[in-house]
Amino acid sequence: MGRLAHGSAGLLALALLASCSGSETGTTGTAGPAGTASGTAAGGAGKPVAAATVVVNPLNKSENIPTDHTVVVAAQSGTLKSVSIQGGKAGQLPGVLSADGTSWRSTRIAKPGTTYTITTVAAGADGKTAETTSTFSTVKADKFFDLETVTPNKYDTGLTVGVGMPVMITFDRPITDRVAVERNLTIRSSKPVEGAWHWFDDRHVDFRPVKYWPAHTNVRLEAHLAGVRGAEGVYGKRDFAYNFKIGREQITKGSTNVHMLTVRRDGKKIRTMPMSAGQGGAWKYYTTSGVHLAMSREPVTVMTSPGIGPGSPGYYQLTVYNTVRISNSGEYIHSAPWSVGSQGYSNVSHGCVNVSPDNAAWFIKNTLIGDPIIITGSPRPLEPTNGWGHWQESWKEWLKWSSLKAAPTTHFH
């Protein structure tokens, strides 16, 4: 998913052809080559031989350079031997040298409010080397944004998750420059998938593949956000990376009409569990239909009636055991010894999926966070924003809220 910031053939051509005399909007600097050297051919009666000439963009002493500006160094004659860009406490700005040694470009975003020193060494046809030095300063930041939460994670989900698991990021400030942020979010995987990021609002962006992750896939999130412009005067505080793993493929399907849950692991049926779903009547008492994901595993959960307080008709408060949460509207698959007689035959719950104590104990033990749990038969659909209802959106709908659209993941061992 990630892309190098603003690197292009057009920019390289600008550096090669125009940067000696050009200037950049919003910047100041001294025009001209960053350095030259001269020489004569041995025994050549003063006949000139091409000396090393280097051109650098941004120009020397330029100021207020955007952090995502690609630094380009070009040898107009001769070849580059080394290029170093140092930013003091901000560290070094890395880059790549072209195969023929005539050009170099930066591959990472610069830090805001930083003065960088560019040191180049080039060799000319005369055999001599020339060292040049120039500087530029980046635009200053008024504020910084950071990652507030990233899911999956070690503490809430564990680092081995189900095949339906999205990557979910919450930022601590609103993001208005979604393109700049999204193109610096990279998903790598050991098995290639096509996927895309999806903005739910200006602080939440999530990634999911077109189809479920392949089982036993290693995944790495890389957020190269240090210095990235997130909004006017707001820049990324740091980079972030972490790894997680997709486990075996386990998909549970159930019908509110058939009153049965069937669990398949890697395509093989491993358990069938009688169930009782929401009794309906009031809309809130229907179990939602759709592709749910296991969101949490809770040994003990205290459930209260939605929208009804103590002393009011219909109020309840129950302590239930071995619960697996499947939405944000209070739906769980859980142990319900009081409804065992109805499980497999009728729907009597307030919206949860009731199973027997033995089945609930097995299910919580054998479920990974992110496992798909598909419920059908109810007139009430699961909303895409109800918990992790990401798979409720078609791929076409998902891409409507992506700034960069779909792309294959890059390889990760």
Residues known to be catalytic: 334, 352
C-beta atoms surrounding 6 within 10 Å: 15
List Cβ neighbours of 189 (8 Å cut-off, separation of 6 or more).
213, 217, 218, 219, 220, 409, 410, 411, 412
β-strand partners of 199 = 205
> Measured between alpha carbons, how far is 268 from 391 in angstroms, rounded to an integer?
22
| 3-class DSSP string for the chain | CCCCCCCCHHHHHHHHHCCCCCCCCCCCCECCCCEECCEECCCCCCCEECCCEEEEECCECEEEECCCCCCEEEEEECEEEEEEEECHHHCECCEEECCCCCEEEECCCCCCCCEEEEEEEEECCCCCEEEEEEEEEECCCCEEECEEEEECCCCCCCCEECCCCCEEEEECCCCCCHHHHHCCEEEEECCCCEEEEEEEECCEEEEEECCCCCCCCEEEEEECCCCCEEECCEEECCCEEEEEEECCCEEEEEECCCCEEEEEECCEEEEEEECECECCCCHHHCCCEEEEECCEEEEEEEEECCCCCCCCCCCCEEEEEEEEECCCCCCEEEECHHHCCCCCCCCCECCCEEECHHHHHHHHHCCCCCCEEEEECCCCECCCCCCCCHHHCCHHHHHCCCCCCCEECEECC
Cβ atoms of 147 and 168 closer than 8 Å = no
Long-range contacts of 308-313 (CB under 8 A, 24+ apart): none
